[in-house]
Chain A
């Protein structure tokens, strides 16, 4: 098995477990031999070195972040440089601006992108497609579920993969985002890419 790096064996990756596909992310990390912890409370957050914001319903997760008193602590951690990876709903939560969101929907404003919710359509339009990821030697088979679209990127954001004209995997400093679901692909390369930063 290929390990991402030897120095993250003692680190713990948190997966925000308020709602959504958190268990699928945990499975990938466990298979990679990485310590993993579900984050539902500020106490849980204190125990982790990095955080994954999974897919799910961004409006639901946004409300639960508030009621679980996690919004401010997560925002603080992310702005202080904690490595964070947001997939789908998680990407929406990390974006600077949400289009078509609810008026009260919160975002961490951690990456300089504008995101449009459900931009690829309803579930009947959800799809699988191969994408080319920078530094990967072969295509990554990506799963897009009622996916959000990155409609605008700031100059400090690096695009790591595109689908047609749209950026679908991007990074700015400690923040990585994907509009698709690498946790559903049975391919751990994108998770290993994230682990390199920890």
Chain B
């Protein structure tokens, strides 16, 4: 829990924003896969995942089963950590800082404060600066992304609509976030005050975006990726890596699909390679249309 601990003997610092964002940098260009047991974690690592997200049920099943979705059993998370050498992430409920404390004590490499789980707090997110472990948070628009960054998130992902196998919401969110970044880059200094007000985001962060032309942290895509083309679409739109949740292990034949999505994410501008890896992958997850879903997870978060 102790933030920015300084080890006197070695004069080294852990838990700084540089170190937290550093791991996010290392995940760029990669695929982070949802897994629910050690067997799936092995399949994910074998397929070339750059990290896994350990959770009890993939979003498609959470959607189907209903009820309260919580942090996973520590035993299950440790089981996954034991079988893979790549970073292991896990989800805590929005605002549930004790779940986050538990995940940190388990040594997970990244915590996803996730709208896919049932929120524990209806007005507050976790104060992520208090932790040594980095956090990733979802966002549907730039204001939400900047609020999460102001709370200490080291990585932002689009929320998309998890568990649907439908990329439409992730595309909406990426276009909204990146589109507003482009507009702010063009804005004059007086307009930035209005942008901060409209986005309900801290002015200094808005001013920083105007200067640098990008978010303070990397931006990944999540929510609805089911095919290699989906992953490449997210990358071409400007995402820097992708999370794939239900899309892999809810498909017919997870291992080749996982590998194909990894290759499509690397070669996201090369249609020949995407075509090659997309052949004979079997049936993707069925997916759901947005008009058929009862609970939009993307609406969770404040």
Interface residues of A (CB under 8 A from B): 17-24, 40-41, 55-57, 59-60, 63-64, 67-68, 88-89, 100-102, 117-118, 122-130, 143-146, 163-164, 181, 184
Contacts and interface: CB of A to CB of B under 8 A. Distances in A.
- 8 closest residue pairs by CB, A with B: A129-B12, A123-B109, A127-B12, A57-B50, A63-B48, A19-B29, A145-B22, A21-B25
B202 interface: no
A5 B249 CA distance: 52
B8 interface: no
A68, A118, A128, A163 pick with most chain B CB within 10 angstroms: A128
A130 B12 CA distance: 8
Contacts of A40: 266-267, 270
B26 A145 contact: yes
Contact of B109 (A88, A117, A128, A146): A146
B283 interface: no
A132 B227 CA distance: 47
B29 A143 contact: no
How big is the B interface, by class? 35 or more
14 contacts: A18-B266, A20-B25, A21-B26, A56-B30, A59-B86, A60-B86, A64-B262, A64-B263, A101-B85, A122-B108, A124-B15, A129-B11, A129-B12, A145-B25
A169 to B, nearest CB: 16
Nearest to B277: A67
Contact of B14 (A59, A126, A164): A126
Given A64-B262, A67-B263, A122-B109, A57 B19 contact: no
B14 A127 contact: yes
Interface string B1-30: 000000100111111101100110111111
A143 B18 contact: yes
A59 B48 contact: yes
A64 B266 contact: yes
Contacts of A126: 14, 19, 22-23
Contacts, number: 132
B298 interface: no
Contact of B29 (A17, A68, A144, A146): A17
Contacts of B267: 40, 68
A146 B23 contact: yes
B87 interface: yes
Contacts of A55: 25-26
A145 to B, nearest CB: 4
Given A18-B266, A55-B25, A128 B49 contact: no
A159 to B, nearest CB: 18
Nearest to B263: A67
B107 A59 contact: no
A59 B262 CA distance: 12
B30 A143 contact: no
A129 B12 CA distance: 5
Contacts of A88: 26
B19 to A, nearest CB: 5
Contacts of B29: 17-20, 22, 56
B40 interface: no
Given A64-B262, A145-B23, A124 B10 contact: no
